[in-house]
Amino acid sequence: MFHKLLIANRGEIAVRIERACAEMGIRSVAVYTEPDRFALHVKRADEAYFIGDDPLDGYLDAQRLVDLARETGCDALHPGYGFLAEQADFARLCAQAGIAFIGPDAEVIGRMADKSAAREILREAGIPVTPGSRAPLTSVEEALALAESLGYPVMLKANHGGGGRGLRRCDSPAQLEQAWEQVGEEAGARFASAALFLEKCLVGSQHIEVQVLADRHGSVIHLFERDCSIQRRNQKLMEIAPSPRLTPEQRAYVGQLAVRAAHLVGYENAGTVEFLVRGNEIYFMEMNTRIQVEHTVSEAVTGVDIVREQIRIAYGLKLAFRQEDIRHHGYAIEFRINAEDPKNDFLPSFGRITRYYAPGGPGVRTDTAIYTGYRLPPHFDALCLKLIVWGMTWEETLDRGVRALNDMRLQGIKTTAPLYEEILKHPDFRRGAFDTGFVLRHPELLDYSVKRNPDEVALVVAAAIAAHAGL
């Protein structure tokens, strides 16, 4: 197995990878910029190295990260998600330096990063693809003509986008004309490419994604699906595994499609194939060539440690499981506890965490890098922690989610947690009647009041002990 692994990331995903390394007997190497000097991923790693004063530049300097991995004796590098995780050049630099990249090879990353090209590869193979352009658009006039043939609403998207960034829903020609320049500028700044494409907006659809694992020996399996329909402005808020709305036939079908797609592109390692589902219509959207934030719910219902499998695959080992070995048990929900104020248009709420107490009990997991006294820096994503709950039935999982959210104490900043309590209590959500427009259709979800006991000395003491013990 690998001897030492550099984690080219930060926050909760870095801590998650460090835990997998510890269990596998691999030394973990963390990196950090000035705002992360006292971050938990730095404290927990076997080794940690400073990579610059600028909050972002160090995490985005591919050559420096690869050089550091080589200088510190690392034989593997895990990119996590975000930052450089889906940059083909980063994977290529690792290969040139003789360092194993925990992910697919550069060629596959590049092929899937081009959304139009990826859609065309699968379309030609007979996999249903969301109706839309077959190549990057060359002008707003071309976009307007295509939108007219598809019918509004349409989605204008960055050709190299991802993570819910670089896209706009357009309900009219006027909106499309306005969005053309805005999305192009955002795409150029965020993804280094202003190329755009267009696809039909399927109103009332579910956002379904399938987790796949593939080794270099030709084996590909899926770990069933996740329902990521609870969103705000195309940003995921909650994820569920498996989807409470899919029929067994649909579940088998999307799983087969995902495995087929991975085979088609010669995929290796962990990846996610994303679909839109509306009734009996199922369309491929895109493929993500990295670990995803919401991998936790797939782990909860299947018992498979996805990060461990990523590392094993990158070392050249065969998958530890066959498809027939994989079963899903119960339901799991992940809540992205973001430092945002839902009552104030989700305005970011960075600052010092004065109290943090993680919920526990059966079927409760937290993935985080925060602690009492930690100052959440404003330079990065607003994610504070991921709260994951599991139950044998849908109803038990919902009730456990309400209890765990209510048990958690996270003070000093505003978070999205109260909104999730309201969603879990909503009758439509409880009966599984939700799609990607659920939050937008229910503005009453924001009409909540936060009720907490001001006298929480015991919890504060417990949180302080838990945060600092062993650090």
The CATH number of whichever domain residue 196 belongs to comes to: 3.30.1490.20
Ranges 19-23, 131-135, 188-192, 456-460: which has the least confidence: 456-460
- The answer, yes or no, to whether residue 58 has pLDDT greater than 60, is yes
Residue 370 has φ and ψ, to the nearest 5°, of -105, 165
- For residue 14, the domain's CATH number is 3.40.50.20
Same domain, 76 and 180: no
Q: What is the CATH number of the domain that holds 405?
A: 3.30.470.20
Give the structural domain span for 312: 206-446
160 and 286 in a common domain: no
% the chain with pLDDT above 90: 90
Same domain? For 157 and 220 the reply is: no
Of 447, 34, 454, nearest to 10 by C-alpha is 34
Sequence letter at residue 364: V
Does 111 map to a domain? no
Catalytic residues: 290
Do 158 and 256 have their domain in common? no
Total number of domains constituting the chain? 3
pLDDT of residue 233: 87
pLDDT value of residue 466: 52
Q: For residues 186 and 90, state if they share a domain.
A: no
Does residue 33 or residue 466 have the better pLDDT? Answer: 33
The partner residues of 128 in beta bridges, in order of sequence, read none
Domain check: are 404 and 420 in the same one? Answer: yes
Q: How many CB atoms lie within 10 A of CB 107?
A: 13
Tell me: pLDDT of 455 over 70.
no
CA dist 205 to 200, 229, 239, 374, 467, Å? 12, 8, 15, 39, 41
pLDDT for 245: 95
Q: How confident is the model at residue 454 (pLDDT cuts 50, 70, 90)?
A: very low
Residues 27 and 154 in one domain: no
What's the pLDDT score for residue 309? Answer: 98
Residue 110 falls inside a structural domain = no
Averaged over 429-433, what is the pLDDT?
96
- Averaged pLDDT for residues 76-102: 97
> Sign of torsion, CA 410 414 415 420?
positive
pLDDT at 471: 45
For the chain, the helix, strand and coil percentages under 3-state DSSP, each to the nearest 5: 40, 25, 35
Rounded average pLDDT over 361-390: 96
Residues 228 and 210 grouped into a single domain: yes
Quick one: pLDDT at residue 189?
Answer: 85
Q: What is the mean pLDDT of residues 341-348?
A: 95
**pLDDT band, very low/low/confident/very high, at 66 (cuts 50, 70, 90):** very high
pLDDT of residue 469 exceeding 70: no
Predicted pLDDT at 468: 54
For 276-315, what is each residue's pLDDT tens digit? 999 999 999 999 999 999 999 999 999 999 999 999 999 9
Residue 356's pLDDT is 97
Average pLDDT over residues 175-186: 93
* Closest listed residue to residue 397, CA positions, set 347, 457, 326, 332: 332
- Greater model confidence, 29 or 466: 29
Residue 453 scores a pLDDT above 80: no
On whether residue 120 sits in a domain, the answer given is no
pLDDT 10s digits, 221-239: 999 999 999 999 889 999 9
CA distance 347 to 345: 6
* Residues 307 and 326 placed together within one structural domain of the fold: yes
In angstroms, the CA 341 to CA 108 distance is 38
| Mean of per-residue pLDDT scores for the chain | 94
Shared domain for 362 and 253, answered yes or no, is yes
| Residue 259, in any domain of the structure | yes
Collect all residues with Cβ–Cβ distance below 8 Å to 74 and sequence separation of at least 6.
3, 4, 5, 6, 29, 99
Residues 18 and 96 in one domain: yes
